Each structure stands twice: as C-alpha cells, then as structure tokens.
Amino acid sequence: MDYVPPKKKVAALILKKKDIPKLVRQLTQVLTVYGPVANQSQFKFDTITDGSQLRLDYDTTILPPKKFFIPPTEDMVTFSQSPTLTIHDTLAQSDIESLWNGKRFLVFGVHSCDLAAIKFHDLILTQIYPDPYRTRRREEGIIIGLNCLLPCEDSFCKSAGTLHTTDSADLMLTELDNTYYVDVLTETGRKVVEFCKILFSPASTEQTKLVKKTLTQRNQTFPDPLDSFEEIPSQFDASYEAEMWNRLGRRCFGCGACTMVCPTCFCFDVSDRVELNLKEGARVRKWDSCQLVDFALVAGGHNFRPTIPSRVRFRIYHKFWIEPEQINQIGCVGCGRCTRACPADIDMIELLSDIQKGGN
Amino acid sequence: MTQSTATRTEKNAYQYNMARIVRVTPQTPDTNLYTVEYVNKDQQKQFNFIPGQFMLLSLFGHGEAPFGICSSPNQTGSFDFCIRSVGSLTNALQNLAQDSIVGLRGPFGHGWPMEKLKGKNVVIIGGGIGLVPLRPAILDILENRDDYGTLQIMYGARCPEELLFKDELYIWDNRRDVEYVATVDRDDEHCWAGNIGVVTILFDRITISPKDTYALVCGPPIMYKFVMRELEKIGLPDDRVYLSLERRMKCGVGHCSHCLVGSKFVCQDGPVFSYKEAKTQRGAV
C-alpha cells in the first residue's frame, strides 16, 4: 500500500522541532491550544501553555480529541425562574468570543484515526438537522494532524482504512529527523502558517520525496489484522443471532467504558441541573452509553434492550450496520481504545474476526 | 419570559417555544389532558401538525420528554397533550397550576398517512395510553366523515377506570357511522358490562374487510406482535398497516441515538411506520 499524499494541498513546508515551543507560544497568544501531554503512564489531550508540555511522541490518548467538539457535559440552555421564567441559549451570539479569525481553539497533534472520527461526526451528526452545539465548536476549532510512524497496541487503523486520513486536519505534520514536514491542507491552515510564518520554510523536493518514502514504509510495517473490513456490515447480518453475543455478554460488565473512550460514539443524554436556590439551573447534555441498562428504557418500565448481550450487540450493530446504512461509512476507525479500556479484556479485533467467521 | 435567543444556526431544532397551560382536564386518576396555547399569538395561529406527530415538552428544572399531540388537527387556538404521570417530569406536570408555562419543540416526525386514508376504510386499534396519538386521526376522520369509508375503532385498557376520553367513547359507541368495540384486561370492581381480555380478543367481535382498508395501530410494545398476527390473518397487506412506535428520546432530531430502531430514528423517520417498513428494521416490532 503506497502512501498517497493528501489531494487538497495548499503548500508543503518545514517546521524545525526546536521551533515547536515558539509556535505554541505564538498560538497561545490568540487561541486556547490543546495537545497530547503525559498523564502518568498514559497520554491525554489537555491545555498546553508551554511547548515543552507537548508530547508529539505519544502513542494514543485515553480519550480522543472528540471531547473538544462534543464535551462530556455541556449546558444547552440556562434558565432562571425568578421572577419569571427566563431562558438563555448557550448558542446565542453574545456567548461567542471570537479570539482569532472566528477560531477559539486549536488541537495539536491529532492522529489519523481521530481525524477520521471527526470527519465521521461531521457526516453522522448532520444527517437530518445539523447538531448546532457540535457545529459551533467545530467551526471554532483548528486541527493540526500528526502522522503516526509507529503502530499503537490493539489498534487496527490499517484494516479500518484510516491510516492515512488527513480529513478534517488544517495542517498535517510528518516527523522527518529534526523537523516536521507540514502539509498545509486548508485556508485556515494557511492562516496559521501565515501568522507564524517566520517558523516555516518551504519544503524541498527531496524532503517531499523522503516523506512519501517514510510513509510508504510506515504503511508496510503497520499491522493489518482484519481482512476486508468493509465487508463486516454484511457479515454482521449473518452473525446477528449467533452464539458469540451471549458469550461476550457473559464477559462484559456493562460498564460502558468502551463507549466513553470511543472517538465515534456520540450518543448523549439530556437532563436538568437545578442550583441549590431552586430558581436557576441548566439543561445539560452529557455523554451517554448504549451499554448502560437504562439507555433504551421507556416510561412505564419497558426496556427494549434489557440484557447485556443485547446491549453488547447493539454497540456493534450501530457502528457496523446502522451507520453504514445511514451514511455509507462504518462507525469504527480502528483506534483500539475500546480494547484498552475494557476491564473484561474484550478485544475488538477478536470480536470483529468472530463476526467474520460467522459468530459461532 | 423571553423566547430562546438562538441565532447562530439558521434552523436550531433545539429552540424552545413557550406555551401556557390553559386547561387541565383529568381523564383518570393518573392521566390528565393538558390544553396549551403558545404564548406568542402569531405562533399559535401558524401552528399545525399531522395526526401522529409528537412534540418535546419541557418543564425547566424537571426535564423534557416526547408526547404525542392529542387534539384534532382542525382545532384552532389551542392544542392538547394527554399525559400519564409515571416519572419525575410527568408528576411535576400534574402538580402544575393553570397558566403555568411549558417549553415546546416540534412537532417532529412522520404522522399517520392521512392523505392515503382518503376514500378508504380505516381500522384503528389502540391499547391503553396508545389511544393518545390515534385521537387526532380519529377526530380528523369524524370531522371530515364523508372523505372516508367505514371507521372501526378497537380500544383496550387495563381496567375500566383507565379508559381515556370516556365521553368521546360514548359518542363513538353511539354513532351509526362508527363501529366501536372496547375491552378491559380485568374488572376487579365489577363495573364493566363489556368485553374482558386483551385487545386482540376484539378481532372476534368485529368483522374487518381487508378490501381498501388501512389499519392504524398504537399501544404498548408487547401488543404489536399479536395485533400484526391478527391483521395478517385477515389478509391486510403490510403496506396498509401503520404503527406508531415508542422509544426513549432525548433530542427529537436524530442526534442522541436513543430511539434508533435498525437504521431508522423513531423521532424523525417515525414515530409512525408502515408495518412493511418496520419489518425491515430489527427490533421494531
């Protein structure tokens, strides 16, 4: 599998590794900058105030950068009952402090799998009505992608076809010795480069060739544990009634960790938070999980998915059958986070190969 | 009181419109009919819906939930919801004073195929609170009675005191142009002279001709399988049987994914589906 450079490319530049702190310093003057930082033995995306905090050598993060576009909890409206009911929509224009070119934040160092997941949300959450809360954050964010050169454990991005996704990135970085090779992919990306132009120099033809060679070699070394990933939706059909779901259901604790760490999961719950004065409060949207018992429970007590096997299967059903039906894309980017988060050691690669084998 | 002020997105489906509860009419000990009107008079004038559609009703501080609109689509000046108290939001609703303000979003979703029903015979099968989203269709048919063929209504409730719209049931029962049959699951108080048993026993009490007939069905989840079996026996084709599905909903606009039935959102693709379509989606019926 040869590396195919991004189609929509404005320019190719070089950024020296030692200039990253300078770049971060300049960007933090006008934007909130998030990036991968160490979190004990793992990594997480967090606010960056100093370039030295950035760990662009990270393998994967606990949570995907989804959290900047769909926060774990978010006030949709705030309300006050005194003296009469007043409602304030958090989408109202006055709430938006545009810091720089309509942008408020920048996410640094997003890997291809997560870029693919962001693109996936762009499609799935605009099917009928655009989700206005996510759309706003998406418009306010700048994304700097980063090509992985080493595979991370439990991932299957090559099988899932997301290994060289640059979708949704404004700039895409590839490590090249002491520098980063920078593909400028969007107009926003061009503005970022322009804003810090002293730090960027044009890439030479040799460097462009070298990046292509590096990434082609990278493609060859990455594991590819699942054949014909795109056929899983039709194979899922055949495995729907198979024994594997009961087997998995007996192992699964129903904790929902897999869905909390998933870059493509987007289901949410809505409830009201009332302040202690009982007069004020907010309508809050928060991440929900189809693995939790009350996800499909309706008033009166009927539960459409009352058992763990039915919920385990639903997660896969949603990603590998429903979403392909709806937008012609599988809702899994192969990041492997669900496998790493699972306390029952349920392995997504194993699970998917079981489906491919008919599920028994 | 101010309207929600979303301006950023042209069509913010999450925008609330405020409505006043103008009347509360008790139906059963735990179920009330709430008559509401938009605070904004123009909005009330422009309001229209298709029978079978639902709205999301909010009490700020208690939450939001979907409810089928219950009044005739021809009613002007106000519209109704019929709501049973089963949770925190619905209990809070029951304790509201008249003139209280609620937030509304919608109407959402696809309703009953009223256009297709013109000139056809209609069978309506309601179980329990499932009569609520059927009532706008029944009222619309009765108000334009000449536009339709025969109208047969089958209604089952758990017990006599849980029958909704009792004064209307009496009228339906006595109209010559409506065939109305009802049943209750049990009659502990011995106050019921009619049928006893689940709604499907009514198929023995009524003759349904499959010719030019459409069926509209709404009831508890368990009911559909048995009713569909009876309708299949009669020979009603799947594309002339419509059912309204209930699922947990948090957004109403195809985002939160609670209401997914196969690849369909009950909130947007439904809640009314033809049986033919519902059959293609796993777990629908």
Asked whether residue A159 falls in the same domain as residue A206, the answer is yes
> Residue B67 to residues A15, A285, A293, B11, B79: CA-CA distances in angstroms?
57, 20, 23, 22, 12
Say which DSSP state A318 is in: I
The answer to whether residue A84 sits within a structural domain is no
Which of A67, A47, A92, A63 has its CA nearest to residue A286?
A67
Same domain, A35 and A141: yes
- Upstream peptide bond of A83 is cis (omega within 30 degrees of 0): yes
Does A161 lie in the same domain as A47? yes
Q: Do A247 and A302 lie in a common domain?
A: yes
Q: At A348, give phi and psi (nearest 5°).
A: -60, -40
Q: Taking the CA of residue A41 as centre, how many other CA atoms within 13 Å lie in the half-sphere pointing to its CB?
A: 0
| Residue ranges of A 117-146 with Cβ closer than 8 A to chain B | 125, 127-133, 135-136
Residue in B123, B139, B118 with CA at minimum distance from that of residue B207? B123
Min Cα separation A116/chain B (Å): 19
Q: Looking at the structure, tell me whether residues A199 and A243 fall in a common domain.
A: no
> Is the pLDDT assigned to residue A8 strictly greater than 80?
no
A299 touching B (Cβ < 8 Å): yes
Mark whether A34 and A148 lie in a shared domain. Answer: yes
Q: Kindly tell me the sign of the dihedral angle through the C-alpha atoms of A126, A292, B103, B267.
A: positive
Per-residue b or e along A69-97, where b marks 16 or more CB atoms closer than 10 Å to that residue's CB? bbeeebbbbbbbbeeebebbbbbeeeeee
Residue B241: pLDDT above 80?
yes
Q: Is the pLDDT of residue B1 over 50?
A: no
Q: Write the DSSP string, B26-69.
A: EEETTEEEEEEEESSHHHHHH----TT-EEEEEETTTEEEEEEB
Q: Which of residues 24-43 of A touch B (CB under 8 A)?
A: none
Tens of pLDDT, residues B46-95 = 999 999 999 999 999 999 999 999 999 999 999 999 999 999 999 999 98
Contact A92, B5 (CB under 8 A): yes
ipTM of the complex: 0.89
Side by side, the strands of the sheet bearing A280-287 are: A86-89, A73-80, A280-287, A268-274
Strands (E), chain A: 11-16, 32-39, 42-47, 73-80, 86-89, 105-110, 141-146, 171-176, 179-184, 200-202, 268-274, 280-287
Q: Measure the CA–CA gap between A102 and B194, rounded to whole angstroms.
A: 68
In sequence order, what DSSP letters do the residues of A190-229 get, joined into one string? Answer: HHHHHHTGGGEEEPPHHHHHHHHHHHHHHHHHS----S-G
The answer to whether residue A257 sits within a structural domain is yes
Structure tokens at B107: 């109407």
pLDDT of residue A96: 58
Contact A76 B15 (CB under 8 A): no
Q: CA-to-CA distance for B195 and B280, rounded, in angstroms? A: 34
Residue type, B155: Y
- Does domain B17-108 bear CATH number 2.40.30.10? yes
DSSP summary character for residue A7:
S
Strand B241-244: give its sheet, edge to edge.
B195-196, B179-184, B151-157, B121-127, B213-218, B241-244, B272-274
Measured between CA atoms, the residue of chain B closest to residue A81 is B60
Mutate to test the interface with A, among B263, B267, B268 (most CBs of A within 10 A): B263
Q: How many residues does chain A have?
A: 360
Closest residue of chain A to B129, computed from CA coordinates: A300
What is the arithmetic mean of pLDDT over B204-222? 95
Q: Is the CB of A87 less than 8 angstroms away from the CB of B4?
A: yes
Query: Which of B162, B248, B264 is best to mutate for the A interface (most A CBs within 10 A)?
Result: B248
Tell me the chain A residues in contact with residue B62 when contact means C-beta distances shorter than 8 Å: 272
pTM: 0.92
Question: What's the gap in Å between the CA of A8 and the closest CA on chain B?
Answer: 28
A76 CB within 8 Å of a chain B CB = yes
Contact A92 B12 (CB under 8 A): no
Nearest CA to A142 among A97, A100, A183? Answer: A100
Query: CA dist A330 to A67, A156, A295, B67, Å?
Result: 21, 14, 22, 33
Is B6 in contact with A297 (Cβ distance < 8 A)?
Answer: no
Q: A277 lies in a domain?
A: no
Q: Is A304 on the interface with B (CB under 8 A)?
A: yes
CB pairs under 8 A between A and B: 132
Same domain assignment for residues A210 and A236: no
Give the pLDDT band (50/70/90) at residue B7. Answer: very low
Degrees to nearest 5, angle at CA B179 with B177 and B183: 155
Same domain assignment for residues A243 and A322: yes
Say if residue A54 is in the same domain as residue A166. yes
The domain containing residue A204 runs over which residues?
11-74+91-221
Using one digit for the tens of pLDDT, what is the confidence trace for A95-151? Answer: 556 667 788 999 999 999 999 999 999 999 998 889 999 999 999 999 999 999 999
* A186-205 pLDDT tens trace: 999 999 999 999 999 999 99
Residue range B114-232 in CATH 3.40.720.10: no
> Is there a contact between A302 and B2 if contact means CB atoms under 8 Å apart?
no
Contact residues, A window 90-109, toward B, CB-based 8 Å cutoff: 91-93, 96
Q: Judge whether residue A56 has pLDDT over 90.
A: yes
Looking at every residue in chain A, the average pLDDT score rounds to 93
Same domain, A238 and A132: no
What are the residue boundaries of the structural domains of chain B, listed by start?
17-108, 114-232
Domains B17-108 and B114-232 share a fold: no
What residue of B is the nearest CA neighbor of A324?
B263
Question: A271 to chain B: nearest residue by CA?
Answer: B63
Residue A82 lies in a domain: no
Q: Are strands A11-16 and A179-184 parallel, antiparallel or unpaired?
A: antiparallel
In a domain, A281, yes or no: no
Domain-located, residue A1: no
What is the rounded CA–CA span in Å between residue A180 and residue A144? 12
CB A263 within 8 A of CB A333: yes
Flag whether A100 is in a domain: yes
Chain A residues closer than 8 Å to B64 by CB = 270, 272, 283
Q: What is the mean pLDDT of chain B?
A: 93
Output the CA–CA distances (angstroms, integers) from residue B100 to A79, A275, B16, B54, in the order listed. 15, 21, 15, 20
Residues A106 and A177 in one domain: yes
- Which of B257, B277, B281 best probes binding to A when mutated, by most A CB atoms within 10 angstroms? B257
- Minimum-distance CB partner of A92 among B6, B257, B283: B6
Measured distance CA(A214)–CA(A175) in Å, rounded: 9
Residue B189 has pLDDT above 60, yes or no: yes
A74 and chain B: CB distance < 8 Å anywhere?
no
**A274: in domain:** no
Q: Are A321 and B220 an interchain contact pair (Cβ–Cβ within 8 Å)?
A: no
Instruction: Check CB contact of A86 with chain B, cutoff 8 Å.
Output: yes
Confidence at residue B98, expressed as pLDDT on a 0 to 100 scale: 84
- Considering the domain architecture, whether residues A205 and A307 belong to the same structural domain is answered as no
Q: Do B263 and A298 count as a contact with CB atoms less than 8 A apart?
A: no
Closest CA to B241 of B123, B100, B144, B128: B123
Domain count, chain A: 2
